[in-house]
Structure 1
Amino acid sequence: MDNDGEEDEEEFGFSRNYFLAKELGGSGKKSARKLSEIDVVDEQELRAAVSNIEPKHENEIADLMDSYKTMYSEWVFQLRCGFGLLMYGFGSKKAFIEDFASTALTDYSVIVVNGYLQAINIKQVVIALAEALWDQVKTKRKTPSRDLPKVQQPFNSRSMEDLLAFLDGSEADENDSFVCIVVHNIDGPGLRDCETQQYLARLAACSHIRIVASIDNVNAPLLWDKKMVHTQFNWCWHHVPTFVPYKVEGMFFPLILAHGSATQSVKTATIVLQSLTPNAQSVFRVLAEHQMSHPDEEGMPIHDLYSVCRERFLISSQVTLNSHLTEFKDHELVKIKRHSDGQDCLYIPLATEALEKLLLEMGQ
């Protein structure tokens, strides 16, 4: 009974301290600091610092990789039985999946797709698979090449439906003839759209295709429906954490603690501008065109911007212009600089090349 009383007292004390801390925390003044005020470093400098970080637990990770190598023969058997291999777990799986492909799949053709890239042409992938399968069939058959049935037309001129039919057809009649497609980050930005995932699922269901893929996003299974998972991909899930840094995969994403590149700044500005009204976009274009045509000036005076926009019927009053400028300043699209003669001037904090690219993006 005494112990229960002490536990109740401790629990009560913890609860009281928790609510007291919340009360004191809410009573203080809110910080006026902004995320934009953080003194971030240059992206190249940060990447160089990251690359110099010494790896830890190398021996333990090496032992872990060796334990996965004992499963290679089992994974090949699963592929030959018609299953797809889906690797998940913390850490980059790129190196060890490629080691599996280079050591255990030497009897088959292997095509590698890097899903962590920003853009991937899925049709080019399918064409490469078809060509690899055709070369593999010609190599395995004992029939002289002149007696082989000729491909009706080059693979690169065929439609997606014809290519998928070939990969699933009887032209490659060897029972053990298949091409393996290795997809690093099948949940990556270049493969994440619905249409590409549908093509990948149909591809995985072809009789002469086997797929080995990795995922790193916890929401990756939401990309697939029940049919895709159990009938087309036919996944065998393997939990294979490697604890290896995502060095290669991370090269194609901007670092949070670094200054963004010009490309990233243009992309961010485009997204923001697309969320604004057409009139607001037109006002921004006026300012951008003035800045590009007067690169030596310190900015565009506010009353000049008002006059031009009023003449083009983009605004009806100074109040309307001020509302647009407030949106621009809140999103850090536009900054105010004090001119040498004392008047306030507006300028866009982008280089000329980035500004040209932004205007092209807006015009699309």
Structure 2
Amino acid sequence: MESNELEEEEFGFSRNYFLAKELGGSSKKSARKASDINLVDEQELREAYAKLEFKHEKEINNLVNSYRKSYAEWVFMLRCGFGLLMYGFGSKKGLIEDFASTALTDYSVVVINGYLQSINLKQVTVALAELLMEQLKTQRKLENYLKNQQPFHTQSMDDLISFLDGPHWDDGESFVCVVVNNIDGPALRDSESQQYLARLAACSHTLMVASTDHVNAPLLWNKKMVHTEFNWYWYHVPTYAPYKVEGIFFPPILAHSGSAQTVKTASIVLQSLTPNAQNSYCEKLTCLCNLCRERFLVSSQITLNAHLTEFKDHELVKTRRNSDGEDCLYIPLSSDALQKLIHEISQ
């Protein structure tokens, strides 16, 4: 057999092998449908939560109070240049805020609540810069710098961080402290927010204390962020305290709330599909199915059709007839819901 024929045979074999693998994987369909996910009413959920009786309150208070003995050590570690990262089961909001209000009274403190749905880090950074400026004014350390000083709210994040990093003066006693409840919260999980927080933590005139609860929180940071910028010193401080405040602001994923519910149910269903199927669905949200081929998400029209069939089975895509009598595919979500879904499944 000639070499060209051997190469053609090998190419055909490999092509058929990967095609069979792709089709084989897509044939194992999940039985989940969006309509099968029954979500409770939000008000009903909140009423049930309000009636919960939390146990062992005395023991929890004693445990949290026992951590007070470590406050002096924590302050020492902060002054040594470490960021403090508190982890362990239970809400740590009360603990780290008590630490800030009792052991960090020499510094100005700004609290960031990562469990909120939206956080403006630019406003937080402006507040930090203003607090540091007040300290330096009191100490009369910035008289020359203040002559050309622009209002902080008109400055960029880079300029604000540059100010907090203190290249304009030589001072080792002026600090502002950032307390971050749930640094892995939904409003802070994006890469840009984590990068800004890391840069803030690395500033020479900022101290950072944060708590984390998600088991995959370390995946938010690369090696440089962990060891150079945040420079975390990890403290295991389980409190077993209920997440009362965090639970109020966290989106009720079990509750029915219009488009938010639709996005959540669609997200749950999509999580049961293959990564290529999820990516294909994202591309279809913009009605540009040809991008699926260009980005090698599917290798053939057969595979694309298989994904479409799967989406229809799961009720992620529906069919309706237009005025010309043709069947058209559409996604039964509003524009806002589509944007939220793309953001959620792209994380």
Q: In the alignment, which of 195, 200, 203 is matched to residue 198 of structure 1?
A: 195
2:262 is matched with which residue? Answer: 265
Instruction: Give the aligned residue type for 2:151.
Output: P
User: Map of 1:134-283 to 2, 5 A cutoff?
Assistant: 134-139=133-138, 141=139, 143=140, 149-150=146-147, 152-171=149-168, 173-266=170-263, 275-276=280-281
1:331 is matched with which residue? Answer: 315
SS of equivalent to 1:251? helix
Q: CA deviation at 1:65?
A: 1.2
1:292 is matched with which residue? Answer: none
Residue segments in structure 2 that go unaligned for 5+ positions in a row: 1-30, 271-277, 288-304, 321-329
Q: TM (normalized to structure 2)?
A: 0.68
Is the contact between residue 253 and residue 264 of structure 2 (CA under 8 Å) also seen in structure 1? no
Instruction: Give the aligned residue type for 1:110.
Output: V
Q: CA deviation at 1:259?
A: 3.0
CA gap of 1:263–1:131, structure 2 versus 1, over 3 A, is same
User: Map of 1:5-84 to 2, 5 A cutoff?
Assistant: 40-84=39-83
Q: CA deviation at 1:149?
A: 3.5
Residue segments in structure 1 that go unaligned for 5+ positions in a row: 1-31, 283-320, 337-347
Q: TM (normalized to structure 1)?
A: 0.65
Instruction: Give the aligned residue type for 1:176.
Output: E
2:130 is matched with which residue? Answer: 131
1:108 is matched with which residue? Answer: 107
SS of equivalent to 1:69? helix
Deviations 1:220-257 (A, max 9, x none): 11222222222221211111111112222223444454
1:309 is matched with which residue? Answer: none
Q: CA deviation at 1:119?
A: 2.7
Deviations 1:137-180 (A, max 9, x none): 223x1x49978733521111122222111111244543211000
Instruction: Give the aligned residue type for 1:135.
Output: E
Cα separation, 2, equivalents of 1:86 and 1:277? 35
Larger radius of gyration: 1
Q: CA deviation at 1:329?
A: 5.6
Tell which deviates more after alignment, 215-224 or 273-282. 273-282
Is the contact between residue 169 and residue 207 of structure 1 (CA under 8 Å) also seen in structure 2? yes
Instruction: Give the aligned residue type for 2:237.
Output: V
Deviations 1:98-153 (A, max 9, x none): 111112212211111111223322222222211111012223x1x49978733521
1:344 is matched with which residue? Answer: none
- Are 1:85 and 2:79 counterparts? no
Q: CA deviation at 1:269?
A: 5.2
Is the contact between residue 84 and residue 212 of structure 1 (CA under 8 Å) also seen in structure 2? yes
RMSD value over aligned CA atoms? 4.1
Is the contact between residue 86 and residue 212 of structure 1 (CA under 8 Å) also seen in structure 2? yes
Q: CA deviation at 1:83?
A: 1.5
SS of equivalent to 1:112? strand
SS of equivalent to 1:45? helix
Cα separation, 2, equivalents of 1:335 and 1:138? 67
CA gap of 1:144–1:121, structure 2 versus 1, over 3 A, is closer
Is the contact between residue 34 and residue 265 of structure 2 (CA under 8 Å) also seen in structure 1? no
SS of equivalent to 1:153? coil
